[in-house]
Structure 1
């Protein structure tokens, strides 16, 4: 089971209602294993390796936190892989190969079972809020806003329109070119939940799927008829290359931004972002201290919002996450 307080699922549902590149980056050296394998250094400082995999959406935030932590602890090596939320759980975290798994959606019951079978206990930590963003080419002057129904029709496996005019007769008879994350991505899972519905016909598969968010930007930038979706942080770094669309959930068009996500106005595409710590790895002091560092800085406007492009945690959410983390550390080190 995930290491979280009772009522965690209910609070997550309440939060939801209210509210890129594949490969490994060795930020400071190569990893040997996902077991931490560190200790206090000879000079009393921290040392050891930390392995992180998972969500491409959380990747830039994890990178920002890792770089700052390593600047203060030279003997700690942090390696991060952008594998997608599901790919990280299945191939790295639950088999016990990594210390953290970043995720842009909550862990699934079958993933919890896989972790449990390998004696891995996930500790869920909310780290930010994202405004999942739908982007089109800058020359797509016929559209500035889409309704949830428009999005559902464009991406549904049942309708699968081929031209923009198939969705709206006022739009040009121009081919739709679709770009998005793979089915290993939490962004993909969340889009199905928020737009298509888990009981619906499913996500169409005739699109360019990638775990490299920059590839989505490049694809949409390169074709007038293109459309794609990805995390707000990647759009915020490329506002001159593509155009973000507003979303109308029935109460008028709302553009994606940190302000509209923070206010709970950008629905239904505002979502919490997570990292999952392996409780067993928190027995290692350098792993525990990195987890503390991340959560202590999760309210930082400078790091989370200005540098990365997500909504920082509120003081209340941070306090809840810190309580959960300290309880897990005490359990691991006791």
Structure 2
């Protein structure tokens, strides 16, 4: 069962904005709620801002700091205004509303990959290996919880106790063993949910990258492999195909002006399979087939796992 974050009431939102942003709410522009409640508002002083409310977590402050640094460097992301600060029992941030923008078609793989390479280049260097811990579970192949799957982000079910998809448990363990083996290179900071649904474009140029709660740190090929699995999602309701993942990994290396070793490319394939397998375990609860055994076998082979 999905665990939606309830949207704040108008009264709560108005009081919070008055206290923390110095102006009450004139108009609510939109409201969405899933893992976070996200509300776009026009304040009485005519500013348009987005308020995001979710459970408190230490990593939120670090994610916001990365977003702030990227905005100052000229990267296309909303400017953070505040946070995280308390919102009742929750934590909230505020950022400037960046409206509009379009989804980019899948023939723009080089642009998707180049924008991620730009993010990695402009992001601050990670100060410690665990500065973003705990990572979102769909990226947390290196969790230390003792079983294959970390707790799901949006439901109560234990993914380790689902007999109908037990074949995915072996896939997950093989991926984890391959990624522990390395080598994958130095750790960088990037975005752990590099799907089309979080990216907006204008006339083929990047307009805004959203969802900065998904900042992670990982070896660069691992980060790219995660993105290579999910980058089309939002334009299409499926993961990347094998060819689409391969095209992304290749386009990223070209954009970053680097050439990875065979072991690093294998690490990217392993990371792509982690996110696919995690999502497949979770979406099976909804009757959605996200990953076939045949696709998993092909990615395992490419990962050297």
TM-score range, shorter chain: under 0.3
TM-score by length of 2: 0.25
